[in-house]
Structure formats: C-alpha cells, structure tokens
C-alpha cells in the first residue's frame, strides 16, 4: 500500500511529535511513524520518569526533615520504591494518553512500525510506502555502552532500565559510572533515598565535568558528598566481576587501584544517535563517523533534498526542548519560510539534582577562552529569605558579563534553579546589560531576588551583598 502526505515524520519522540503537531497546525497532512510508543525516550525512559523519581527523593528528603519546620512525624519516614515507581508509571501513562489524543485531534496519522528511508526518499513501514513532500528524521538516541562491560538489565544497567524498574526494593549499594547529567541525577536520587552510592568519573572533575560553570558544579559536588555520596574523579573503570554477593568494580585513580563491591552498576556515560539500519546512506543522507545525521542547522536540512533531521540524531545538544525548537525550524523550512535558527550556545540547560543546576550562555572559563574582557559577580543563597524558609540555602547565582557590556552567561545552583534560569536565558539572548536587569523589581521574598542582587553589583553598588 502507498499513501501520500505533505510530511512524513520518522520517529515519535519530542522532535518527532513536535514536528507533527506544528506541521498539522499549519494545515499540512502528516504521517508520524513510531516503532514503540509516541513520546520517545523523553516521555517513557528519560526526562519524565527520571524527574518523577527525583521528586520522590525530594519528598522523602523533605519529610525526613519535617521536624525542622515544626511538623511532627510519628515514626520514621521510609522510601516506598514500588509506590514511587507506580506513581512514575501513572504520570507517564497520563502524558502518553494526552499526547496520543492531541495527535488524533490534529488529524496526524500515527503509523506503528519501524520505518526506513528508501532510495527514492519515501518511508517504508512494514511493506507499506509513505510518500511525503518532505521527510523529517527524528530517530532519537540510546544509552552509550562501555567495551567490556556487559549490560544485563539487572546488575549492570543503563538509565533506560533505572527509569523503568519494577523492582520491589532499592539496591543497597550502587556504583554510577559517569558524572554527567544522567549520572549526577541518579547519584542524587540514590543518595537521598539512603542507597550507598559511589560515582566514578573519568574526567578530572567528578560531577558535571562538562557544561556548567565550575563554581556551580562544585556546590553540587560538595552537597552530594555531604549527604553521603562517594565521588572519584579521574577514575578508570575495569571489567566488573559478578560474585555471589553482588558485583565487584575495579577502578584506578591517581591515588592508586581499588575495588568496590556493589549490588548494581549504572552505566551513565551519555547517549548515542540511533541511525543505523534506516537506509540513510542508500537514500543519500550523510551520517558522520559518530552516527549523527549531518544537517544545515539554519534549516535542519540533510544532504538529501526534502529530507530534514532534528533531535538526538543530530550533533546538537541532546535536550527535548532543543528538539522542539529544531522541529519548528524544520517545519517552517518545509513551508518555505525563513525561520531563525536555534542559537545552541544560549539554550537553557538544567540538571535536576539536589540542589538543581541550570545555566544559559557562557561559563566564566568559556568567556575568558573566547577572548572576552570578563566581569563576574556572584550572590549566594545563604542569605536569601525564601531559601532560608525552604531550608535549602546551598546555592548561588553567578553572572558572567562582558566588561561594560552585555550578559554573556547566567549560572544558577540551588532550589528551583530550573525555573530561575529562564530570566537568565532572556537576559543572555537579549544581550541585556546587567545594570538594566538589576533595576527590574524582583518580588520579596523570592529566590529570584538572588538574580536581581547579582545583577545590581555590576553597578559597583549593592543592596544586601
């Protein structure tokens, strides 16, 4: 069977369903091909379930400290891992049903099956052929593996397993390999829920070695250590050995060799693009050596006319909200419009640990390396009234600006950094002057005052700092 559409979208993750919904709202006929369930990794195995588990850890942490806030708890609070997983599943199911309903209302044809690109630029699914005026590839990503470390889904797992576990209890001892975003978030979850957690990171800084400003990442590292996590930077991990008591992980650091016996190993070294077996080379779509689809990021067009690619299958930040933005660029390019491209250097990043870390724009080190004459100011959360009320004073705001010029980067670590960062994102993207942002009125008491207070100090004056 053959069917014709204005647009065929291959992959139903954030980039794919965003492209389908946006194109349908512009009046295009759309087919969306998905081999599993619409929503992709983000909804089913990544962003949503991981943050649900992080929130469970936050609630447990808050209840455990209830006495400090004048609330008496009879008996000790205990983590209920099956209940946390059940709630995670309910949230995912509800969002999946909502997304499926929205696609149906927009009259997007959802085609179940594994789609491949044919040599003539169509999409083949289970013997059927879907033809479109354009095709958008949104084939997503999968966890990266380490040679010699076999993932079995039980004792050695990836984040895909950890966010979909139906285990009736938490492991007592966990080794997390990789201190990036995924590794840091699971280290935070496990530590807060009482799991003996060891983080092994190959790079010199054990927690978030790449991305955020070092001052902010160090606040998180200190907090994790204070709460009980063991962190080993510059750790070279050997082949784990399964024993009757668990699994032994050998590793080397500058201090020497060591072994760690745990119940579970979480491999969290990032994700790789899923582009193999999809007929891309035969269709004339160029893929780089790492497996990413090569695109012109001003339009998201691939090397084959009429074929575009967005999301984790291209070498841009692997963030759901970046995939959304790229989907808009791709659809508007299909429509013959001239969309502004995504400015990848300024997109907001968030790590949903405790405390949260978020940033937009350049770190201090990046700004200096870029040749800017830099001025930097920081304001801690220690004296912020709202942070004190919450009982969460670990954190700071750091603003990096060009001397006598605009804001280059805003970095936040602390409570609700995920929400606070968007004021910084606006300042960075509008190339605002720190003094102008500092004159804006921030509600009191609020966490956002820390941003205002930091901006004010660029004038040479301050309020509370």
Q: How far apart are CA 164 and CA 37, in angstroms?
A: 14
Q: How far apart are CA 267 and CA 189, in angstroms?
A: 15
DSSP 8-state assignment for residue 291: S
Q: How far apart are CA 409 and CA 59, in angstroms?
A: 31
Both tokens assigned to 86: 């059940």
Rg of the chain over Cα atoms, rounded to whole angstroms, equals 24
Say if strands 407-414 and 356-361 run parallel, antiparallel, or are unpaired.
antiparallel
Asked if 331 contacts 319 with a C-beta cutoff of 8 angstroms, the reply is: no
DSSP secondary structure string, 312-329?
GGSSS---HHHHHHHHHH
Q: Is 205 a catalytic residue?
A: no
Compute φ and ψ for 190, nearest 5 degrees.
Answer: -65, -40
93 SS3 class: helix
The length of the chain is 465
Write down the residue that tokens 């966010």 correspond to: 163
Q: How far apart are CA 200 and CA 238, in angstroms?
A: 11
Q: How far apart are CA 135 and CA 334, in angstroms?
A: 9
Contact partners, residue 48, CB within 8 Å, separation at least 6: 42, 91, 92, 95
Catalytic residue among 161, 442, 444, 464: 444
Helix (H) or strand (E) segment spanning residue 256: strand 256-262
Both tokens assigned to 117: 């690109």
Q: Is the peptide bond before 445 cis (omega within 30 degrees of 0)?
A: yes
Q: Is the peptide bond before 117 cis (omega within 30 degrees of 0)?
A: no
Both tokens assigned to 297: 């990021």
User: For the CA atoms of 459, 462, 463, 465, what is the dihedral angle to 10 degrees?
Assistant: 140
Distances in Å between the alpha carbon of 103 and those of 43, 128, 238? 15, 21, 46
Residues designated as active site: 444
């Amino acid at each position: 069977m053959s069917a014709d559409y204005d647009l065929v979208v291959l992959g139903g993750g954030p980039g794919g369903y965003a492209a389908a919904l946006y194109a349908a709202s512009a009046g295009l006929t759309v087919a969306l091909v998905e081999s599993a369930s619409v929503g992709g990794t983000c909804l089913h195995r990544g962003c949503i379930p991981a943050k649900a588990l992080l929130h469970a850890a936050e609630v447990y942490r808050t209840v455990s400290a209830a006495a400090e806030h004048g609330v008496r708890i009879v008996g000790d609070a205990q983590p209920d891992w099956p209940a946390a997983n059940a709630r995670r599943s309910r949230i995912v199911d509800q969002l999946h049903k909502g997304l499926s309903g929205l696609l149906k209302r927009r009259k997007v044809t959802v085609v179940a099956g594994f789609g491949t690109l044919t040599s003539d630029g169509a999409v083949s699914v289970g013997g059927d052929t879907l033809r479109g005026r354009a095709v958008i590839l949104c084939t997503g990503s999968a966890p990266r593996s380490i040679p010699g470390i076999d993932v079995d889904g039980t004792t050695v797992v990836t984040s895909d397993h950890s966010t979909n576990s139906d285990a009736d209890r938490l492991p007592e001892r966990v080794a997390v390999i990789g201190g990036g975003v995924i590794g840091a978030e699971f280290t935070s979850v496990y530590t807060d829920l009482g799991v003996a957690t060891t983080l092994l990171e190959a790079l010199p800084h054990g927690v978030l070695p790449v991305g955020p400003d070092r001052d902010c990442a160090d606040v998180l590292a200190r907090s994790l250590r204070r709460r009980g996590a063991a962190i080993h930077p510059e750790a070279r991990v050997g082949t784990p050995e399964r024993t009757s008591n668990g699994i032994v992980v050998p590793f080397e650091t500058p201090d020497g060799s060591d072994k760690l016996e745990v119940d579970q190993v979480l491999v969290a070294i990032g994700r790789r693009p899923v582009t193999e077996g999809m007929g891309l080379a035969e269709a004339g779509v160029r893929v780089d050596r790492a497996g990413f689809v090569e695109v012109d990021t001003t339009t998201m067009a691939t090397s084959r006319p009429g074929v575009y690619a967005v999301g984790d299958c291209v070498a841009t930040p692997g963030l759901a909200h970046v995939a959304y933005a790229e989907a808009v660029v791709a659809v508007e390019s299909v429509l013959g419009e001239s969309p502004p491209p995504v400015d990848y250097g300024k997109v907001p990043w968030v790590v949903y640990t405790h405390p949260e870390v978020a940033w937009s724009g350049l770190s201090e080190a990046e700004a200096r390396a870029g040749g800017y004459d830099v001025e930097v100011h920081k304001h801690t959360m220690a004296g912020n009234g709202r942070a004190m009320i919450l009982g969460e004073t670990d954190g700071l705001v750091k603003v990096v600006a060009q001397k006598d010029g605009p804001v280059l980067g805003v970095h936040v670590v602390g409570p609700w950094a995920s929400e606070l960062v968007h004021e910084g994102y606006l300042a960075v993207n509008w190339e605002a002057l720190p003094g102008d942002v500092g004159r804006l009125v921030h509600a009191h008491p609020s966490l956002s005052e820390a941003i205002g207070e930091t901006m004010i100090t660029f004038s040479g004056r301050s309020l509370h700092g």
